[in-house]
Amino acid sequence: MSELQALYEEMKGQEVNIIGIAADGIDNEIGVLDILRKADVTFINIIPDEKFMNDFISKIRGVPTSILVNDKGEIIGKPIVGSRNREGYKEIIEEALKNIN
């Protein structure tokens, strides 16, 4: 099980959701879906269209980049560049939840 899938399972009852963006899926949707299925990923993943790629993905400086978004769709905090383990992501999320409550 991936770190993000494990985190999703752990935190889904705490008003926290994880949504993936498969930036390389625009030209390889079937391949990306196959990878997600084989990895047993159950959280939502978005395959961006060209507009989303141009407006958002093209401005990302490193992969992976994670952002936290509140229930109004507003980005909170700074982008998180680089991978983290489950505990690393959990600490960042819990700190963000403290700051918005």
pLDDT single digits (tens) 69-84:
888 888 888 888 999 9
Only one residue has tokens 């990878």, namely: 35
What is the average per-residue pLDDT within 13-36?
Answer: 82
Measured between alpha carbons, how far is 90 from 82 in angstroms, rounded to an integer? 15
pLDDT single digits (tens) 32-79:
889 889 999 999 998 888 898 888 888 888 888 888 888 888 888 888
Provide the pLDDT for residue 1: 67
Provide the pLDDT for residue 92: 92
State the pTM of this model: 0.78
Q: What residues contact 2, with CB distance under 8 A and at least 6 apart?
A: 39, 41
